[in-house]
Amino acid sequence: MPSTRPKLAVFKFASCDGCQLTLLDCEDELLALAGRIEIADFREASRRVVEGPFDLTLVEGSVTTPEDIPRLHEIRANSRVLVTIGACATAGGIQGLRNFADVAEYQRVVYAHPEYIRSLATSTPIQDHVPVDFELRGCPISRAQLLEVISAYLGGRSPNVPRESVCVECKRRGTVCVVVAHGTPCLGPVTQTGCGAICPSFHRGCYGCFGPQDTSNAPALSQKLVQLGMDSPSLARFYRTFNANAPAFRAASDAARPSPSPEGA
Amino acid sequence: MTDRTISVDYLARVEGEGALRVRIHERAVDSVELAIFEPPRYFEAFLRGRSYFEAPDITARICGICPVAYQMSACHAMERGLGLSIAPEVRALRRLLYCGEWIESHALHVYLLHLPDFFGVPDAIHLAKDHREVVERGLALKRAGNELMTVLGGREIHPINVRVGGFYRVPARDELEALRPSLANALYLAEETVRLTASLSFPDLENDYEFVSLRHPDEYPMNEGEVVSSRGLRIPMARYDEEFREIQVPYSHALHSVRRDGGSYLVGPMARYANNRDRLGPRADAIVREVGLEPVVRNPFRSVIVRAVEMVYACEEALRIIDGYRPPDRPYVEADGALATDGCVAITEAPRGMLYHRYRLDATGTIRDARIVAPTSQNQKRIEEDVRAVVERSIDLESEPLTVACEQAIRNHDPCISCATHFLSLDLVRD
């Protein structure tokens, strides 16, 4: 008898698997969730595959091979709602550092047997290729936000995911500002919250794993970071990690180091 | 029918994207190919030009299942090259963090990925229909590992508290004390896991493995030790490249590691246990005796019991470390001497086996060369041989059950394809 529960699918492109693992990390909710939805296609968790169309599809990872593109279009056509999960799917991920590499330099890259490998010169987010209904940020995503997104779409409403900066979260938690108190470089002022502002609570500056906050002022932060003693290459690298290709971080890193780096990073 | 092919186009319940193709001619296996089609992500290329200090956080993103392993190998490699010595209290905390990852990763594999095979169900959700308490036990164990990583590392996936030289912030005693009830419960649940897995029925198959792992003078190995093998190899970590090499095969995006003579070898729980049975703690030792587990496990399907034993060990070791914990004077030490070095090398024991990192730094501490060898790269060739052995002894099975048996032969070694793929060496001609 066909199931009447909504169908969930999880698909992977270039990634570390950490964001889909977040679903299996919902130890307290997993069995209850499996009662409400049908896990139709989630290869990391099950060898059973139920045909689409899917009511909710989670996509992890970035587009890095020619085969990814038709596969992604097929997934989109088969999904009522498509949500990208994590920095790879929403901004190209750490593997997006290749996008900064000098093309001429890359042409001089030598493999032992390059003919065995098919790979694009860029790593791009899912939304560059197909329409996306919602993007969940983070490297990795937050478990609470993932559960919120699933509940919201099952209930036919929009997810309630905060868009403010990590700074706001630190104030709410009562965490002492690491920039003000210790002069520690921190991307908190320009980064969207969602992690819970963990790094400053461990006496460490935010390193931007949830990507740029929508209304942030990166040039002002860069000026402050230079005053704290950061040199240009370090400043460029600070913005160029897991969300390096998110437009605001990309612009900030290009401003810190105007000419393309031969190292690609 | 004289020729047939067993194909699995997308292996399920493994981490990452792989496929299997077995060609059978008459009643003999022609070829076995574990094809890893997960796209390469070029970590070794873009690590060049980054600061030595960034390696732990960047390499953690190779694998969301075992990020601590990458952080540990990267930190130890940099510290060895830079001549940093780590306080014993910091060393203990690192071991505690690793215990959290072993518990989480092994619980994930045993309960959510491996056990469904033994019960003939497609996944843990279906397993929970008739054996809800079993799955709940697995989830509780997994949560205990994750809680430990969250307290010490800040979060369970890609922890943020690890740095070259130590930790950003070390926990107060009472923060660790608060973990004691959950770990004590996890210890009991892990012992139950050994009893459950030891009571399963297993196919009758023994393979002649060369088991390779670390071995430490007084501990079950995690962060330190010599590289040893069950065939008598015993070398310091820095000589790894002399004894092991990588080869590229046409059908896979991951390199295969082989011994110097071209032979396969096995890393991971079966290897650690075979080489370090005498280093287990008292609770793990007692449960091994209780269920009568052989001192060297050569049946790959029985690896599920060894993983359960390692969970017992990781729980008791975590409790022991918390008992003796006192915060270090300083959470970390910093490099103050010369940064140029080609001596950055370390191996640590990821849940799936030895993880090798080697780096060369210039005078500014910038990475000029990076090499990383993941456990699954090292096991790939051996996994193919395991599949061949399973097919040879079950050659008369229909294709469907034979396919299931092949998949299980792969899952026995908990392959992490995401890890294995990202190491296709790129050599920039410049530099």
* Same domain, yes or no: A246 and A118: no
Residues 1-40 of chain A whose Cβ lies under 8 A from any Cβ of chain B: 12-19, 21-22, 24-25, 27-28, 30-31, 34, 39
Hey, is A188 helix, strand or coil? Answer: helix
Question: E-assigned strands of A52-94?
Answer: 54-60, 79-85
Same domain, A141 and A178: no
Token pair listed for B340: 């140029």
Residues of B (65-84) whose Cβ lies below 8 Å from A: 65, 67
The two structure tokens encoding residue A120? 């694009």
Give the pLDDT confidence of B294-343 residue by residue, as tens digits: 999 999 999 999 999 999 999 999 999 999 999 999 999 999 888 999 99
**Residues of chain A contacting B430 with CB distance shorter than 8 Å:** 105, 108, 262
Residues A122 and A197 in one domain: no
Which domains are present in chain B? 3-36 (no CATH), 43-421 (1.10.645.10)
Does residue A263 sit within a domain? no
Distance of CA B422 to the CA centre of its chain: 16
CB-CB contact of B60 with A87 (8 Å): no
Residue A261 confidence (pLDDT): 47
The answer to which of B16-30, B76-90, B197-211, B378-392 has the lowest mean pLDDT is B16-30
Helical segments of B266-357, H only: 269-276, 282-291, 303-323
* Res A114: pLDDT: 54
CA distance A245 to A125: 9
Cβ contact A159:A153 at 8 Å: yes
Residue B168 touches chain A, beta carbons under 8 Å: yes
Chain A partners of B111 at a C-beta cutoff of 8 Å?
none
Residues 235-254 of A with CB under 8 A from B: 237, 241-242
Q: Do A195 and A116 belong together in one domain?
A: no
The Cα B190–Cα B68 span in angstroms is: 21
Q: B4 vs B125, B384, B398, CA distance in Å?
A: 33, 18, 11
In SS3 terms, B3-41 reads as EEEEEECCCCCCECCEEEEEEEECCEEEEEEEEECCCCC
pLDDT for res B13: 85
Mean pLDDT along residues B98-115? 97
**pLDDT of res. B239:** 97
Q: What is the CATH number of the domain that holds A111?
A: 3.40.50.700
- Asked if residue A211 is part of any domain, the answer here is yes
* Residue A252: domain span: 166-256
Q: Is residue A160 part of a domain?
A: no
Residues A124 and A205 in one domain: no
Phi-psi group of B262: left, alpha or beta (phi > 0 → left; psi -120 to 50 → alpha; rest → beta)? left
**Predicted complex: ipTM over 0.90:** yes
Which of A54-63, A154-163, B142-151, B235-244 has the least mean pLDDT?
A154-163
User: Which residues in chain B are contacts of A21 at CB distance < 8 A?
Assistant: 15, 64-65, 108, 157
Please tell me which of the candidates A22, A46, A263 has its beta carbon nearest to residue B13.
A46
Residue B78 C-alpha, separation from nearest chain A C-alpha, in angstroms: 19
- A137 and A15 share a domain? yes
Q: Are A63 and A13 in contact (CB under 8 A)?
A: yes
> What pLDDT, on the 0 to 100 scale, is given for residue B422?
52
Q: Are residues A14 and A107 in the same domain?
A: yes
Residues 6+ apart with CB under 8 A from A156: none
Q: Is B425 on the interface with A (CB under 8 A)?
A: yes
Q: How far apart are CA B38 and CA B42, in angstroms?
A: 12
A33 within some domain: yes
What's the rounded Cα separation, in Å, for the pair A247 and A231? 22
Average pLDDT, chain B: 93
Nearest CB to B428; choose among A109, A118, A198: A109
Average pLDDT, chain A: 91
Is the CB of B430 less than 8 angstroms away from the CB of A262?
Answer: yes
Domain boundary among A154, A188, A222: A154
Average pLDDT score over residue span B379-392? 94
Q: Are A54 and A79 in contact (CB under 8 A)?
A: yes
Each residue's pLDDT tens digit, A179-203: 999 999 999 999 999 999 999 999 9
> Residue A262: inside a domain, yes or no?
no
Measured distance CA(A215)–CA(A38) in Å, rounded:
38
Contact B430 A234 (CB under 8 A): no
Inter-chain touch B125–A31, beta carbons under 8 Å: yes
Q: Note the pLDDT of residue B321.
A: 98
Number of domains in chain A: 2
Say whether both A140 and A105 belong to one domain: yes
Identify the domain boundary among A154, A187, A207: A154
Neighboring chain A residues of B42 at a CB cutoff of 8 Å:
95, 98
pLDDT for A103 equals 42
User: Chain A partners of B136 at a C-beta cutoff of 8 Å?
Assistant: 31
Half-sphere exposure of A205 toward its Cβ, with a 13 Å CA cutoff? 18
Task: Assess if residue A161 is contained within a domain.
Answer: no
Other CB atoms closer than 10 Å to residue B259's CB: what's the count? 17
> Please, are residues B207 and B270 in contact by the beta-carbon 8 Å criterion?
no
Residues B146 and B194: beta-carbon distance below 8 Å? no
Which of A31, A48, A94 has its CB closest to that of B135? Answer: A31
Say if A264 falls within a structural domain.
no
pLDDT value, residue B421: 66
pLDDT at A119 over 80: no
Residue B172, pLDDT > 80, answer yes
State whether A15 and B418 contact (CB < 8 Å).
Answer: yes
A21 lies in the same domain as A105:
yes
Range of lowest pLDDT (B34-48, B70-84, B155-169, B290-304): B34-48
Return the number of other C-beta atoms located less than 10 Å from residue B11's C-beta: 24
Q: Chain B residue with minimal CA distance to A19?
A: B64
Q: Which of B25, B369, B179 is nearest to A263 (CA)?
A: B369
Q: Fill in the DSSP letter of residue B108.
A: I
Asked whether residue A95 falls in the same domain as residue A149, the answer is yes
A72 pLDDT above the threshold of 50: yes
Q: Answer whether residue B288 shows pLDDT above 80.
A: yes
Inter-chain contact A27–B11, Cβ cutoff 8 Å?
A: no
Q: Last residue of some domain: A134, A154, A174?
A: A154
* Co-location of A146 and A33 in the same domain: yes
Tens digits of per-residue pLDDT, A128-183? 999 999 999 999 999 999 999 999 998 899 999 999 999 999 999 999 999 999 99
Q: Same structural domain for residues A185 and A220? A: yes
Q: Is residue A237 part of a domain?
A: yes
Q: Note the Cα B95 to chain centre separation in Å.
A: 15
Which DSSP helix (H) or strand (E) runs through B181?
helix B180-198
